[in-house]
Chains A and B, each alone.
Chain A
Amino acid sequence: QKEVEQNSGPLSVPEGAIASLNCTYSDRVSQSFFWYRQYSGKSPELIMSIYSNGDKEDGRFTAQLNKASQYVSLLIRDSQPSDSATYLCAVNLFKLIFGTGTLLAVQP
């Protein structure tokens, strides 16, 4: 089992819709979780960090963490074509462990 798993996608949503990105992790010791956005040919950009169970909102982004289920998600409200990118889930296990990323395509 991979340490951090994400659906590779592509996840296609219409402009203005909610995009839901999911991530599961295998090690219960993990205490900090991150979502990064990576445009093609560019380096990752930190979007959200979350450390406690529940929801954390920042603008159009909401991160959700459920440690009991070992599950992290990212919701993007009012999706825009500029949100089209690969979204990387990362879990801190003494070092960052990245998932392979989910490709999001927002259709105009």
Chain B
Amino acid sequence: GAVVSQHPSRVICKSGTSVKIECRSLDFQATTMFWYRQFPKQSLMLMATSNEGSKATYEQGVEKDKFLINHASLTLSTLTVTSAHPEDSSFYICSASAGIAGDLKGNEQFFGPGTRLTVL
């Protein structure tokens, strides 16, 4: 299967600081990248979808000014959590697909290993 990396794997920061998470597709070109959040014992929650070179599409209830997403190339997307607070502590996971978001037939999504964010 395709390989997606994510960095850092774990980050601890103080309340009010910003944290940037990188997601890279290592062996394929990711037309679309997705950002998810997962709280303990809950399922994945899609935060936003981004196509290379376009603005991200955010899910309802996700603050676009707080969670900044950049998909500058076909292999790299970044998520910046701005002015992080303890309630932002969660497991953030990116995924990448060679398909086009919104396509019903939808290509497979491959997930990165995740970033565990703890905000003190």
Contacts and interface: CB of A to CB of B under 8 A. Distances in A.
Interface stretch (A11-19, A39-47, A59-67, A68-76): A39-47
A31 interface: yes
Interface residues of A, number: 23
A32 B104 contact: yes
Interface in A62-108: 88, 92-96, 98-101
A34 B110 CA distance: 11
Interface in B105-120: 105-106, 108-114
A96 B34 CA distance: 10
Interface of B: 1, 34, 42-44, 46, 49, 91, 93, 101-106, 108-114
6 contacts: A32-B104, A43-B91, A43-B114, A44-B111, A46-B109, A93-B104
